Structures are given as C-alpha cells and as structure tokens.
C-alpha cells in the first residue's frame, strides 16, 4: 500500500490576494488582545490611543466570538501572535526584532546593553511577548547595576513600550492584489508595529514569497485609510494619519506595480472620531457603502492616475461618490441610507457603526450596539452578523479595523 501524502494547512491555504473589500473572505489576520491591554492605565491611555481602560478578559471573550463568527463562515483566521512567533523562529528575525525593542536614546547605553543581552537569551515566544506586551523597568531581569536611568525611572515605567493597538491589524498591513503593503504608522504609540509586521511578512514561511507594495519606512499610510473599492481602484483617506505624501507615494507604487489604475485621495477631518477613512465609510456590497450621513454630501476626492511621463496625474477634487462610481465603472455607488437623526448618527459613528467587515458581498460583521445603523443595513438587504464590542471598542475600532484580509475570492 502506498501512503498518499497528507496536504498540510500551508499547502492547501489560498494564496494571499485581495482585490476588493467584499469578495468572499478566505483568510484574515486578527490579533487576539493580550497582556498589552493590561498595561493601559488612566495615566497612559490617551497616549496609547485608547479612550478608556478595557476589561481585558471580556475583550478576549468578545474577540474570540468575533473569530468564531468568521470561522463559522468558512474563513481561516490567522492570529498575529502565532505568526510573529513563527517568524521569530528564524534567528535573523529574532535578532532584528530584538533590535527594534531597544531604544538606546531613551534608556541609555548601559541599560540598552542589558536589555539587548537579555532579549538575546529568550525564545521566540518570550521575545514575542515582550515585543507585544512591553516591559517595565521592574521586569527587566538584568543584573542590578548602578544605572542612573534605572534608578531615576519609576519601576512601572516602560523599558519597552506595549503595543495595545496591535488589535487593529487593519492598520499595520494591507494586501493589494498579491502584494502586501507594510503601513508606515503615523503616531509614536504605533510606530513599532510597522517593524513587527515587516518581520512577519519577511520570515513567516507562508509569506516568504510575497512581494511588497509599499516600503515600511515610507511616508505615513495606515491601512484603515485604504479601501479597495474595486479591482484596480483604491480610495485612500488623507487626514489625521495618512499624509498627502503617503497617499501620493502609495499611488505611485501601486501604478508602477500594475496594482491600480485609479487612486482616489479623499480628504477627511483631522479628528479622533474620523482618524481613518473606514471610520466614516466601508463597503457592504460590490456597489454599496455604509456611510456616516454627516459626510455623505461633503466628502470629495482627488483622482490620481499614471501620468504620461510615469508621474502621477491629479484631477479634481470632485464629489467622492461621483469620482468613485466613475473610477469603478458603475453608474452609481449606492449609499445605504442610515437615515438617522444627527445625534444618533454621531453616536453610532463614534462606536464604529460605519466600520463593517464584509465576509462576502452583502454580508457584513458589525457591532451589535449600533442598533439603528444595523437595522437600516438590514432594511437595505444586507445581512448583518452582530458581535459585541463593549470592551474591544474602547480603542475606537470596529470589525474592519480589527481584521486584515489576506485572501479574498475574486468578485
Ligand atoms: N482602521 C481603524 N479605524 N483603526 C482604528 C484604530 C484605533 C487605534 N486606537 C488608533 O488610534 O490608532
């Protein structure tokens, strides 16, 4: 008898490729919140971009339920912590990752050497824990020296900052076609996420052959601002996070790689409530978006195309909905009219009512608390898979923010 080889998960997994916001979702990268959330206190939560202090056990339960909804729909869920540990098994990744955690300028040479020495001794899992959850002066097990830095810092100050916003995997990397763009995150609290995702995509066996769409150290672009409206058509929000230079440079590289023919640069208000384009608008079907009513008629877009000289040609601005429909080659982009009174609309926008994750055309995951928005979506024929997010939402992010699609079937 001959034994047939058993295909392993990596051989059977769909190849990474995402051309739209709504094509049937096959594989997604999530981050189950961990010890990094336990670092949040009323003194540091603003700086770490959380609006209150989450109840961590409950946040984990909510996240598990989110992952279950996705697996229940046949989606393969990859967890960032597992992917990071797998990547760090490569000693080059281990060394590079440890180096990203050592900030000599902040902790001085003596402690930096002690920290680097310690990190070199921990295994992949131990290193991943420090990279994600951070480390306090009190936890640094290096020999007690006379370091002034150690003496003058509070024992609970961070030697390595925690990364509570890893939860929002949408922002740190984006697949465009068969290439991955490592985001260049704008705010100091998230800057180190770039380096971790960069290592995951470089060293995880599953991604080794993945081409890059954007360099990790380029001008700021965050994934929450990038919407794949249709194959070849990107919308990029420009506001608190993604800069005009970031949008221009991602457009230039998408054109050069043949990943897009049109990029819409969409100015959004530079506010916490609208930090990314996906806080006011996400796609729920091939030709439909759910959108915050207050911006529906005012949102505009510059249309970027490859210029004759290989540069970027800019048109507009024009109304966003018109520019989007034209670029997508459809008559009209349907806006699901949430028809809400302005106060309800503002409350539900703040709680990520417009931040839905499509698992297929017309099927989206949404926070249950946005009762009005969800019922309007259903009235318009969209199936809504509700999850609770009372704790997950304390960082201001909904189902779309908490997910990075790695593979979607073509539309
Ligand atoms: N795609 C999104 N809207 N992400 C939300 C990110 C929230 C996170 N606390 C931040 O401020 O960066």
Residue 308 is predicted with a pLDDT of 84
360 lines ligand 1 (CB under 6 A): no
Residue 2 is predicted with a pLDDT of 44
275 lines ligand 1 (CB under 6 A): yes
224 lines ligand 1 (CB under 6 A): yes
- Identify which of 37, 173, 397, 405 to mutate to test ligand 1's pocket (most ligand atoms within 8 A of the CB): 397
Atom of ligand 1 nearest to the CA of 400: 1
Atom of ligand 1 nearest to the CA of 352: 3
Cβ density class 6-29: b for 16+ within 10 Å, e for less: eeeeeeebeebbbbbbbbbbbbbb
397 lines ligand 1 (CB under 6 A): yes
Single out the catalytic residue among 401, 402, 404, 406: 401
Residue 216 is predicted with a pLDDT of 67
Q: What secondary structure letter does DSSP report for 183? A: P
Q: Dump pLDDT digits (tens) for 154-172.
A: 999 999 999 999 999 999 9
Atom of ligand 1 nearest to the CA of 48: 9
Instruction: Clarify whether 404 is annotated catalytic.
Output: no
Within the chain, which residues score under 70 in pLDDT? 1-11, 142-146, 216, 339
Residue 271 is predicted with a pLDDT of 86
With contact defined as beta carbons under 8 Å apart, do 186 and 155 qualify? no
Helix locations, 268-316, DSSP H: 293-296
Q: How far is the CA of 55 from the centre of ligand 1 (A)?
A: 18
Q: Dump pLDDT digits (tens) for 291-306.
A: 998 898 999 999 999 9
- Joined together, the tokens standing for residue 64 give 């598990």
With contact defined as beta carbons under 8 Å apart, do 169 and 11 qualify? no
**Exposed / middle / buried, residue 269 (Cβ in 10 Å: 0-12, 13-18, 19+):** middle
171 lines ligand 1 (CB under 6 A): yes
For 288: left if phi > 0, alpha if psi spans -120 to 50, otherwise beta; the answer is beta
Q: Which domains does the chain have, with CATH numbers?
A: 25-80+164-408 (3.75.10.10), 83-160 (1.10.3930.10)
Residue 169 is predicted with a pLDDT of 98
Q: Which pTM does this prediction carry?
A: 0.95
DSSP 123-143: -HHHHHHHHHH-EETTT--S-
């Amino acid at each position: 008898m001959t034994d047939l080889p058993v295909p392993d998960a990596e051989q059977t997994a769909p190849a990474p490729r995402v051309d739209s916001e709504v094509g049937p979702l096959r594989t997604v990268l999530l981050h189950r919140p961990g010890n990094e959330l336990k670092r949040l206190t009323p003194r540091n939560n603003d700086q770490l971009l959380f609006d209150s202090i989450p109840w961590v056990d409950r946040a984990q339960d909510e996240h598990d339920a989110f992952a279950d909804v996705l697996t229940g729909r046949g989606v393969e869920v990859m967890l960032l912590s597992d992917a990071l540990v797998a990547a760090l098994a490569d000693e080059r990744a281990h060394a590079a990752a440890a180096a990203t955690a050592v900030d000599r300028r902040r902790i001085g040479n003596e402690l930096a050497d002690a920290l680097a020495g310690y990190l070199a001794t921990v295994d992949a899992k131990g290193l991943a824990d420090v990279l994600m959850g951070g480390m306090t002066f009190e936890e640094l097990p290096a020999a007690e020296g006379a370091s002034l830095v150690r003496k003058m810092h509070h024992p609970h100050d961070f030697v390595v900052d925690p990364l509570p916003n890893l939860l929002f995997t949408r922002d740190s990397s984006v697949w465009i076609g068969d290439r991955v763009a490592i985001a260049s995150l704008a705010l100091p609290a998230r800057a180190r996420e770039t380096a971790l995702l960069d290592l995951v995509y470089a060293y995880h066996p599953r991604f080794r052959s993945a081409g890059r769409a954007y360099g990790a150290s380029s001008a700021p672009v965050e994934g929450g601002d990038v919407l794949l409206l249709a194959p070849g058509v990107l919308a990029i929000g420009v506001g608190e996070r993604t800069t005009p230079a970031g949008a221009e440079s991602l457009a230039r590289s998408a054109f050069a790689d043949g990943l897009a023919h049109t990029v819409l640069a969409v100015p959004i208000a530079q506010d916490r409530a609208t930090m990314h384009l996906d806080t006011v608008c996400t796609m729920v079907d091939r030709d439909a978006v759910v959108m915050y009513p207050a911006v529906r008629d005012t949102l505009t877009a510059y249309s970027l195309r490859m210029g004759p000289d290989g540069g970027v040609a800019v048109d507009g601005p024009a109304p966003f909905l018109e520019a989007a429909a034209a670029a997508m080659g459809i008559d009209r982009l349907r806006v699901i009219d949430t028809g809400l009174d302005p106060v309800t609309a503002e409350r539900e926008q703040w709680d990520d009512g417009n931040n839905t994750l499509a698992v297929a055309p017309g099927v989206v995951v949404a926070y249950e608390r946005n009762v009005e928005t969800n019922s309007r979506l259903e009235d318009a024929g969209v199936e809504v898979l509700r999850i609770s997010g009372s704790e997950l939402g304390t960082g201001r992010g909904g189902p779309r923010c908490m997910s990075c699609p790695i593979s979607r079937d073509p539309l």
